[in-house]
Every structure is written in C-alpha cells, then in structure tokens.
Structure 1
C-alpha cells in the first residue's frame, strides 16, 4: 500500500509476453543521466538557477510539461492506430490502451490533490476555527506529503521512462510516442525562450540535443525490435 508499491502497479508495463530489451534500457538510462547532468551544469553555470534546489525545481517543471505533452499525444496516436487497424482488432487495441489511460488518470488525480487542498482550505487551516488545525486537516496534510507527493514524483519519473506504459499496447509504441513528444517539446522550448542567456552554440546544443538523442535511441530500439525479436511497426496494429 506504499506510494512506490502502488506506483509500480500503476505505471509499469505488465502485459504478459511483453519484450523488454535490456541493452536499450541501459542506453536510455545513460542518455537520461547525461542529459540531466548537462541540464544542471548549464543551469548553474549560466545562472539559469541560483542553486541546485532551483535547478531541481526547473527540471521537475520541465518533466511535468513533458507529461502533459505525452498525455495529449497518447490519445491521438491511439486514435490513429484504431483507425488504421482492422475492425476485428480495434476492440483489442482499445482494451490494451486501458492501462496506459489509467496511468494518465492516476498521475493527474495525484497532481490535482495539491491545488484541491488549497482551494478547499485544508492547506491553510480554513476549517480549523479557533484551533491551529483540525485532525482532518492534519491528516490530509500528512497524507499529501507522505503518500501523494512520493507517488506523484515516482509516477512522473516512470511515466517518462516507460512512456505511460504504452508497451502494454505494443513494444513499438513507446519509441514512436517518445520521438514525437521530444520534437513537440523542442517547439515548446523555442516559443518559451528556454535557455535564454546561454551562448548561442551551447543553447542550440541544449535545445536540439534531447530530440536528436531520443530519436536516435528510438530508431535504434525499433531496429533491434525488428531484427532481434521480429516486432515491426505494423504490429502496433495487431497485424
């Protein structure tokens, strides 16, 4: 019943017979760590963040925006797959999309609890009367900090790593969505002026580094799935 244990059940793919390539996962982790290190170094070196804590907050905000982009891209891609699939396979595709959709609902429900606590007054003792805080408000605050916050942080991390567990649909779906979303995030970064103040060449590297590297890893993953496991893009249509 702990937040991480529940998070594993909610955010990790679990379709029986699913193929997971250990080599691809290892490269993805290395790419993520290199990207995180570059982000922190640039943020601190060029005063985009005053300290490591501010850099971590910026990274969290960036991760949450990516989750938002994923949640928008997911139904669009599923809709395309359902439209292209044979009528006999559409029900199975929608069934497989149920758990990824549940992961999206769970992460948004967790995030919604934070503004809900403020709006209902539990966060500032609105219902406390003459007392510092009622038992209910204490309980709500403790549950939010001890359970909901770890669940949300873990959920965001796993949603990005496993692309909202879309491997439950088919192994080729996560790299397809990941490659799409990183280029969407590039547009977001350009229009919001990300890395403003960083020298031009380095800023360009930081902007295009993520989409290029994620695309390269995604194409490599699709290649390995096809060569080593016989899984092709048309398999996402259950053909």
Structure 2
C-alpha cells in the first residue's frame, strides 16, 4: 500500500531551493524554525497514524474506485456549499460559528462511531444467513483492534503529560536539562498530533467495518450524518437555506448510500442479507 502523499519531508523541501537562494533564506528559516519543527512532528504523527490504522488494517472485500471518488466529491461539495453560503450571507461571527461546528463534529464523530458501529454491525450480522455469521463475527477482530489502538492513542496523550510532570526534567541543570525539557515537550506535542490524525483516520475508515460487510460503511455514514444533524441543529445562514442544509445533507448521503448498496448488489453480488 503506497504511503500517503501531500506532506513532503523538510529535507526534500530544502533540496528544492536553489543553493544560492538558500543562503539568503537561512535567516528566514531560523526565524520560522518552531513552525518547521511543528510541521516535522505533524508529518511524523500522520505517517504513524497511517501505518497503525491503515497499513495494518484488514483489506476491504470490495474496492470500487468509483464509489471512493463519489465519497470524496460529496465531501468537497459539502465544504464548497458551506463556504458559498458563508461568503454570500455570513459575517465573521458566522465564520467562527461554522469553524467551531466543524471542530465539534470532528471531535464527536469517533465517539458516535464507537456507539453506532456495534448497532449497525449487529443488525447486519443478525440479518445474515446463519452459515455466514461465524465468518462475520471473526472479521470483527479487525475493527476491535482498530478501536483498541484508537483508545491507546487517546490514552497516550495524558500519560505522556503526566509522565513529564512526574519526571520534571527542568530539575536537571545546564544545557542537558534544557534539551530534556524541549524533547519532552516535543514528544507530548507529537502525541497530540497522533491522536488528531488517528481520529481523522478512523472517521474516514470507520474502524475498518468494511471487512465485516461491504455495505457497512455506507449504512454507518447515513447513521452518523443523521446523528450529527440532530446534535448540531440548524446551520448558519437564512432560515430557508439553513433548513435546506439540515435536510439536504442527510438526504444526499442517504441517496448516495442507496446507490452504493445497489451497486454492490448489481456489480459485485453483495446483498445486505448475504
């Protein structure tokens, strides 16, 4: 499986700069060195989250590029519509409210997945023929492993901060103590980045529930969008536009999920009860 793209290493970025220009850019790089360190930590955490939650996950029984492209198109279309409504009808307060709502949705989605996924998978296993149920229950090991790793990435954050407080490397004098403090802070920041990327990854993959049933991601997405719409309330904008977004989001996701399930049945022979 290829590594995720889009985040080049710092060395590759530096090598792209002509040597003559690098001499003049060196003071600027030193000035922005804290941001470069944060970039390196975020990139490392992103790669770690990919290795832990994507590379080691069980492969999905059905890989359809068309369905993957439509999911990405649906996501970007929702983002574009939100930006367009804010640009036409919104103000700075609405922008802040929309950003806050997106952060709340990102924070809530993994926990809603943890609550909703057992219900969806339980219904699918119950509807399956008796001969198929043992294999589906055995495939639950992958999602359960992903769930355990996610809780591990969450527990790492307070554990490292607590360990830093107990060790208190600032008591070590001299330059060694300063280096230990900086290294400890860098490790704690890295753990926060790891949890954030882990949360984004499990939201995208649904803890690998496709290994249990290929239609599980589509059904789970419908449930999650409905739950987020009920929790989030009316979006920003005029009342008519807000109600269109409130109803249109779950409706379009449900229509796309219906199309995915129908495509799985007609193209790959996958049935909800099969």
TM-score by length of 1: 0.76
Could you tell me how far 1:220 is from its partner in structure 2? 0.9
Partner of 2:32: none
CA distance in structure 2 between the partners assigned to 1:231 and 1:22 by the alignment: 17
Partner of 1:162: 205
Partner of 2:53: 11
Write the deviation string for residues 101-156 of structure 1: whole angstroms up to 9, x where unpaired: 222232233233334455x273799674486977665444312323x344333323
Point out where structure 1 has 5 or more consecutive residues left out of the alignment: none
Write the deviation string for residues 183-211 of structure 1: whole angstroms up to 9, x where unpaired: 11121113xxx535x32112213322321
Could you tell me how far 1:48 is from its partner in structure 2? 2.7
TM-score by length of 2: 0.68
The answer as to 2:247 corresponding to 1:229 is no
CA distance in structure 1 between the partners assigned to 2:143 and 2:270 by the alignment: 20
Q: Residues 88 and 49 from structure 1, CA distance in 2 versus in 1: closer, same or farther, beyond 3 angstroms? A: same
**SS of residue matched to 1:233:** coil
Aligned pairs (5 A) from 1:81-96: 81-85=124-128, 89-96=132-139
Q: Residues 206 and 224 from structure 1, CA distance in 2 versus in 1: closer, same or farther, beyond 3 angstroms? A: same
Point out where structure 2 has 5 or more consecutive residues left out of the alignment: 1-43
Task: Report if the CA contact (8 A) 2:153-2:195 is conserved.
Answer: yes
The count of corresponding residues between Structure 1 and Structure 2 is 226
Partner of 1:39: 82
**SS of residue matched to 2:207:** coil
CA distance in structure 1 between the partners assigned to 2:79 and 2:60 by the alignment: 32
CA distance in structure 1 between the partners assigned to 2:140 and 2:125 by the alignment: 10
- Root-mean-square deviation (Å): 3.4
Write the deviation string for residues 4-35 of structure 1: whole angstroms up to 9, x where unpaired: 44433443385457211111111110111121
Task: Report if the CA contact (8 A) 2:45-2:194 is conserved.
Answer: yes
Q: Residues 124 and 170 from structure 1, CA distance in 2 versus in 1: closer, same or farther, beyond 3 angstroms? A: same
Could you tell me how far 1:215 is from its partner in structure 2? 1.1
Q: Residues 121 and 85 from structure 1, CA distance in 2 versus in 1: closer, same or farther, beyond 3 angstroms? A: same
Q: Which has the larger radius of gyration?
A: 2
Partner of 1:176: 219
Q: Residues 43 and 115 from structure 1, CA distance in 2 versus in 1: closer, same or farther, beyond 3 angstroms? A: farther
**SS of residue matched to 1:234:** coil
Task: Report if the CA contact (8 A) 1:4-1:154 is conserved.
Answer: yes
Q: Residues 195 and 55 from structure 1, CA distance in 2 versus in 1: closer, same or farther, beyond 3 angstroms? A: closer
User: Which of these residues, 180, 203, 216, is aligned with residue 255 of structure 2?
Assistant: 216
Tell me which protein shows more helix as a share of its residues: 2
